[in-house]
Copies of this chain bind each other. A is one copy, B any other.
Amino acid sequence: MQAYKQLEERFGQIQALKQVSSLIDWDKSVMMPEKGGFQRARQMEVLNVKIHEMQTDPAVGDWLSAVNRNDLTAWEQANVRIIEWLYAHATAVPAQLVARKMNQQTKTEMIWRKARVESDFKLVRDELERLLDIVREFASAKATKLNKPLYDALFDNYSPGMTSAEVDIIFDDIGAFIPGFLNDVMAKQKPALPLKGPFPVETQKKLCLQIAQFLGMEPQWSRLDASAHPFSMGIGDDVRITTRFNEKDFTNAMQAVAHEVGHGLYDRYTPREWHSQPVGASLHMGLAIHESQSLSLDQQLARSREYWEFMAPHVQRAFGKEGAPELSAENLYRHVTTVSRGFIRVEADEVAYPAHVIMRYRLEKRMVESKLEVKDLPDAWNAEFEKLIGVEPPNDRLGCLQDIHWYMGAFGYFPTYALGAFLAAQYVDKIKRDTPDYNDQMRAGKFSTLTSWLTGNVQMKGCLYTPMELVERATGQKMSTSYFKKHLTERYLS
């Protein structure tokens, strides 16, 4: 058989098993009875070891060497590029080191849960030190094999082809912009009327299903459930998103739905004929592009005045509170655009959010490069936080213990959260320039003007282009922070 066909066959199987892995992971968070965790961990382990074996098989390397790219279509060439990237990452680290990392992650994460509850960093310090040692070893193995700087070798796994040098430029620019901007917004903003809950979960759930449909998620190929942390899972024509319900504030669930629908549409609208190959899996475009889809909906659209002008009557009707002043479009808009100096990233507003990310990026890069040690992390955290957000966290639970990422060994992940926000602003700026009555369309609930642009320019392209090529083709411009700053200025200061 031709080398390319061999690769397609193998990675078609791998793709199917990865879908199974996503599915049982979804099940774990949404459906599994409480005591099922022990067996589930074992199932995940066996399945993922099997996938790893199939991916690191030396035959894959042979096929990659033998494949003649000139004989291939553009999609097939892109598929080979992704397979090469997957193979390089999977084979860069000895199996024994992968196992040690997994093992240390599990331990560290377990103790982190306790440390966070008790707000006591010392409890987890030693385990995190051990984990960071392994992460450094891991980064070093990858750096050698992939011929990249230490941090970049990790970051590349989450954002293929991007470098920390590029991130530095972008984050330095935004990092310099935010503190002053935050001051200006906070001096100017007027408080929203408080929402008057409780808002029954069942009603919120119905409302969220309606919103998901308004945003283009059709029930024939999707589900909406509840889980402790909102997330999405998409495998072809089977897209599942979750949200969480707060009885005091229904906008939490609504924003999470807009966010996760963005991810879900991406999974749904990569080209169907490539769903079973790596080039058709949105994940392989990296998390910055994925996040640009969710934030186009969650931030660009669902925090806009026009969106709330359309939504407010639906909200009022759902809760049987027609005409309630706190549920007016203006007040709801004000509610979801309130800016604050909060300590928690996942509760942060659109203005402060990038600052939360930037400080984590700076810290984790220094940790990986052995310029910051675990024992000094809490102080370094608090100093960075004060510099960017202007206040100091009162304890570690509201500081360096708040996110799971480092404690589960995920270094190099954070930057993607902010890059997605900048890209979303760049897309919407482009769409608005091409669609003069864009705001009227949003006000009328014609959200497909936004979503079908995303589908046509991003989602349907699968992994045909590299992330930065894709952005340039879609918007006519290289990635830039100027659109995000313009967007914030228009929404928050005009």
Give A residues with C-beta under 8 Å from B.
12-13, 16-17, 19-20, 23-24, 27, 31-36, 38-40, 42-43, 45-47, 50, 219-223, 235-240, 275-276
Q: Which of B36, B223, B239 contacts A236 (CB 8 A)?
A: B36
B236–A34 touching, CB < 8 Å: no
The CA of A223 and the CA of B275, in the complex, are separated in Å by 31
- How far, in Å, is A44 (CB) from chain B's closest CB? 9
A17–B47 touching, CB < 8 Å: yes
The CA of A16 and the CA of B49, in the complex, are separated in Å by 12
Q: Which of B23, B32, B43, B220 contacts A19 (CB 8 A)?
A: B43
Q: Which of B31, B38, B40, B221 contacts A35 (CB 8 A)?
A: B221
Residues of B within 8 A of A34 (CB): 219-221
Residues of B within 8 A of A43 (CB): 16-17, 19-20, 23, 235
| With contact pairs A17-B47, A23-B27, A24-B24 given, residues A219 and B33 touching in the complex (Cβ less than 8 Å) | yes
The CA of A235 and the CA of B43, in the complex, are separated in Å by 10
Residues of B within 8 A of A36 (CB): 221, 235-238
The CA of A16 and the CA of B21, in the complex, are separated in Å by 12
The CA of A308 and the CA of B19, in the complex, are separated in Å by 46
Residue of A16, A38, A45, A236 most packed against chain B (CB within 10 A): A16
B17–A238 touching, CB < 8 Å: no
The CA of A19 and the CA of B42, in the complex, are separated in Å by 10
Residues of B within 8 A of A24 (CB): 20, 23-24
B33–A238 touching, CB < 8 Å: yes
CB-CB nearest in chain B for A34: B220
The CA of A317 and the CA of B14, in the complex, are separated in Å by 53
B239–A33 touching, CB < 8 Å: yes
List 18 A-B pairs, Cβ < 8 Å: A13-B50, A16-B39, A16-B42, A16-B47, A17-B50, A19-B39, A23-B43, A33-B220, A33-B223, A33-B240, A34-B221, A36-B221, A36-B235, A36-B237, A38-B237, A39-B235, A39-B237, A42-B276
- How far, in Å, is A232 (CB) from chain B's closest CB? 13
Residues of B within 8 A of A39 (CB): 16, 19, 235-238, 275-276
| With contact pairs A16-B43, A17-B50, A50-B17 given, residues A38 and B236 touching in the complex (Cβ less than 8 Å) | yes
- How far, in Å, is A235 (CB) from chain B's closest CB? 6
A47–B31 touching, CB < 8 Å: no
Residues of B within 8 A of A17 (CB): 43, 46-47, 50
A46–B16 touching, CB < 8 Å: yes
Residues of B within 8 A of A46 (CB): 12-13, 16-17
